[in-house]
């Protein structure tokens, strides 16, 4: 696996995990003012979710990297 394919694999895994983590802990804002969506989250906590995503993606990437580099599976 080249370093460019490793980066691309990590980015794909990161975004997949990020979209899975986004709905965790969402509470509706309940602000019915004009121009505000009633379903918008009160505190989205995106930095926390990005950190959790990075940790989970790193573990999944390590597993995927090990599978690609190991001799147990042949991709050729």
Residue-level pLDDT at 31: 65
Single pTM value for the model: 0.81
Residues 13 and 22: their CA atoms lie apart, in Å, by: 14
HEC per residue, the chain: CCHHHHHHHHHHHHHHHHHHHCCCCCCECCCCCCCCCCCCECCCCHHHHHHHHHHHHHHHHHHHHHHHHCCCCCCC
* Between 43 and 56, the higher pLDDT residue: 56
Average pLDDT over residues 44-64: 96
φ, ψ of residue 41 in degrees (nearest 5):
-70, 145
pLDDT tens per residue across span 1-17? 899 999 999 999 999 99
pLDDT tens per residue across span 13-53? 999 999 999 999 888 877 677 777 777 888 889 999 999 99
């Amino acid at each position: 696996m080249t370093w460019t394919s490793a980066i691309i694999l990590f980015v794909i895994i990161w975004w997949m995990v990020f979209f899975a983590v986004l709905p965790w802990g969402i509470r509706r804002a309940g602000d019915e003012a004009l121009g505000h969506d009633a379903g918008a989250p009160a505190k989205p906590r995106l930095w926390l979710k990005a950190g959790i995503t990075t940790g989970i993606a790193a573990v999944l990437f390590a597993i995927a990297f090990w599978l690609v580099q190991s001799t147990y599976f042949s991709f050729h």
